[in-house]
Chains A and B, each alone.
Chain A
Amino acid sequence: MNAVWSYLIAFAVWPGLLFAAPLGWLELWFMRKLVARLQGRRGPPFFQPFFDFMKLLGKETVIPRGVNRGIFLALPLVSVGAVTAALAIVPLPGNPVPSLPGDVVLLLYLMEVPVLCEVLAGYVSRSIYGQVAAMREALLSLAYNLPFLVAIIAMAQEAGSFQMSALQAAPYGVVHLLAGATFLLALPARMKLNPFSIANAEHEIVADSHIEYSGPPLALFKLSHAVELVLLTELFAVVFIPATPWPLLNLLVYLAAGVAVLGGVTLLATATARLRLAQAFRFYWVWGGIASAVTMAATLVR
């Protein structure tokens, strides 16, 4: 019973929905504001992502004719649920969930579910644009998952365990730097940001794979993206930033590291134009592959 309660609290309160949603909106606002400032604009007000979410909650949901209603409405819910469950496993300071053996595998699986939901959402909507976006998303995930998975697996090899707390407590070494760089390589594509914003190319294919979504389901997809931003940045901070013995200081360091990573990624997104799918694929299989090989070699050498 106790364990069930701790999971529920982790899912719903900290680091789950109650804190992750405002934090995700804060990070979304930060990115939009930074892009605007870099382009010489004023940028959106502080509460903009919150207003967007609330407005979408109050709108009508249009379901296209011939679309399976149940799947259409379930996909955004599954996406938010999976990404929040993944965040609940991350051992942030104060997280009540006990660390289980093998929870890294669970985390990696749960992180793939939102991508799967986006792909399915594109195909389910019966829109040509949605299907093209879904195809691009599915192919791109084959490319960026190589450096992403290798970065985490190399850290597990280094720590000698597939347990999040072991990864967090691993003594700091050169593998951290190499694996961290490999992780950062995969980050822009995972966040669907500019050089790799191929799946949500708003000028070529109108919108991403939720082109046919409107109202509360679209709001849930936006929320899922916001929580995913928090998950990716905090996962980077927890695994690759050395922990101090003081939990409160750890929390501040993790949040600062998350904001710094987002700032760097946004800078890259503002400075670059969109690649073609083949170019992104080649980039990830060549440079991501080299980075992965170097990282794995570094873990095996010692």
Chain B
Amino acid sequence: MNLIERVVAISRRRSPWICRLNAGSCNGCDIEITPLLSPRYDAEQLGVELHGTPKHADIVLISGTLTLRSREAILDIYAQVPNPKAVVALGSCPASGNVFAGSPLVLSESLDSVVPVDVWVPGCPPRPQAILDGIARAAKLLEDGATKSQLQNWLGRLS
């Protein structure tokens, strides 16, 4: 790894830009993201910026139980995020469907079967510091080149 690649790798950890995706959430997880950017937790000291467009994002925060209608949207938005990218699943819903599991309107599967998830943040809703920790862990994975999408690209180049 030469010097410039090293600087770029460090920059990936120091400047994780996030983008939110509500895949059918009750808004409980989304409302816990707001205090992250406010004075109490101030995610900007880690370089976190909230961006509205997936084209500027490095990390996608996906919250909510996955509804039948949100599957296409998740795939579409995930495809728009430029590589290298990471996915953080917020709350219990993306993992299991939580209390909505079994409903006819809900995809009864984990988010991992739709897009590769790098960090799971458990809780209903998760605490803001847990979300911040999830973002920091995803940023570290981006630096190491160890997110699932980066590993897949690497394997694709080998074969």
Question: Which residues from A are CB-within-8-Å of B15?
Answer: 48, 51-52, 55
The residue on B at minimum CB distance from A206 is B52
Query: How far, in whole Å, are A211 and B80 apart by their CA atoms in the complex?
Result: 12
Instruction: Output the nearest chain A residue to B83 by Cβ-Cβ distance.
Output: A60
Number of A-B contacts (CB under 8 A): 84
Question: For the complex, what is the distance from the CA of A101 to the CA of B32, rounded to whole Å?
Answer: 59
- Residues on B with beta carbons closer than 8 Å to the beta carbon of A59: 58, 82-84
Could you say which residues of chain A place their CB within 8 Å of the CB of B39? 39-41
Annotate B118-144 by CB proximity to A: 1 below 8 A, 0 otherwise: 000000000000000000000000000
- Kindly supply a per-residue 1/0 record for chain B positions 45-71, scoring 1 wherever the CB is within 8 Å of any chain A CB and 0 otherwise: 101000111011010000000000000
Q: Which chain A residue shows the least CB distance to B10?
A: A51
Bound-state CA distance A57–B8 (Å) is: 8
User: Is the CB–CB distance between A207 and B7 below 8 Å?
Assistant: no
Q: Could you tell me the distance between the alpha carbons of A55 and B84 in the complex, rounded to whole angstroms? A: 10
| Measured CA separation A55–B53 after assembly (Å) | 17
Residues of chain A in range 35-63 having any CB-CB distance to chain B below 8 Å: 36, 39-45, 47-48, 50-55, 57-62
A42 CA / B82 CA spacing, docked (Å): 29
Which residues of chain A come closer than 8 Å to B84, judged between CB atoms? 58-60
Residue numbers in B under 8 Å from A61 (CB-CB) = 82
- Residues of B contacting A62 in the complex (Cβ-Cβ under 8 angstroms): 55, 80, 82
B52 contacts A36, C-beta separation under 8 Å: no
Partner of B42, one of A42, A50, A55, A203: A42
Q: Give the nearest-CB partner of B84 in chain A.
A: A59
| Cα(A206)–Cα(B77), bound, Å | 15
Near B by CB (< 8 A), chain A positions 18-43 give 32, 36, 39-43
Q: In the complex, are the beta carbons of B8 and A54 less than 8 A apart?
A: yes
Selected from B45, B80, B82, B83, the residue in CB contact (under 8 A) with A45 is B45
A215 within 8 A of B: yes
Chain B residues closer than 8 Å to A32, beta-carbon distance: 44
**B98 CB–A CB distance under 8 Å:** no
Known: A32-B44, A43-B44, A43-B45. A207 touches B51 (CB 8 A): yes
Q: A211-B55, A218-B56 are in contact. Are A54 and B11 (CB under 8 A)?
A: yes
Q: Give B6-39 as 1s and 0s: 1 = Cβ < 8 Å from A's Cβ atoms.
A: 0111111011000000000000000000000011
- Mark A182-209 against chain B: 1 for CB-CB distance below 8 A, else 0: 0000000000000000000011001100
Complex CA distance for A214 and B84, rounded to whole angstroms: 12
Q: What is the bound-complex CA distance between A3 and B53, given in angstroms? A: 45
Q: A52-B11, A55-B11 are in contact. Are A41 and B47 (CB under 8 A)?
A: no
B153 to chain A, nearest CB (A): 10
Contact in complex: B53, A48 (CB < 8 Å): no
A213 interface contact, C-beta 8 A: yes
Q: In whole angstroms, what is the CA distance A61 to B44 when docked? A: 25
Is A118 close to B, CB under 8 A? no
Q: How long is the Cα–Cα vector from A57 to B4 in the complex, in angstroms?
A: 10
| Residues of A60-74 whose CB lies within 8 A of B | 60-62
Taking a contact as CB atoms closer than 8 A, the residue among B9, B10, B42, B53 that contacts A206 in the complex is B53
Residue of A39, A44, A47 with highest tally of chain B CB at under 10 A: A44
- How far apart sit A207 and B55, CA to CA, in the bound complex (Å)? 10
Q: Say which residue of A41, A43, A207 sits within 8 Å of B56 (CB atoms).
A: A207
Q: A158 at the A/B interface (Cβ < 8 Å)?
A: no
Residues of B close to A43: CB separation below 8 A = 42, 44-45
Shortest Cβ distance from B9 into A: residue: A58
Nearest residue (CB) in B for A205 is: B52
**Closest beta carbon of chain A to B54's beta carbon, Å:** 9
Residue of B7, B12, B52, B55 near A202 (CB, 8 A) is B52
Given A42-B45, A51-B15, A62-B80, list of 15 further CB < 8 A pairs?
A36-B42, A41-B45, A42-B44, A43-B42, A43-B44, A51-B10, A57-B8, A59-B82, A59-B83, A60-B83, A61-B82, A212-B55, A213-B55, A214-B82, A215-B82
What are 12 contact pairs spanning A and B, CB under 8 A? A41-B38, A42-B44, A48-B14, A51-B14, A52-B11, A54-B7, A58-B8, A58-B11, A206-B53, A207-B53, A211-B53, A215-B82
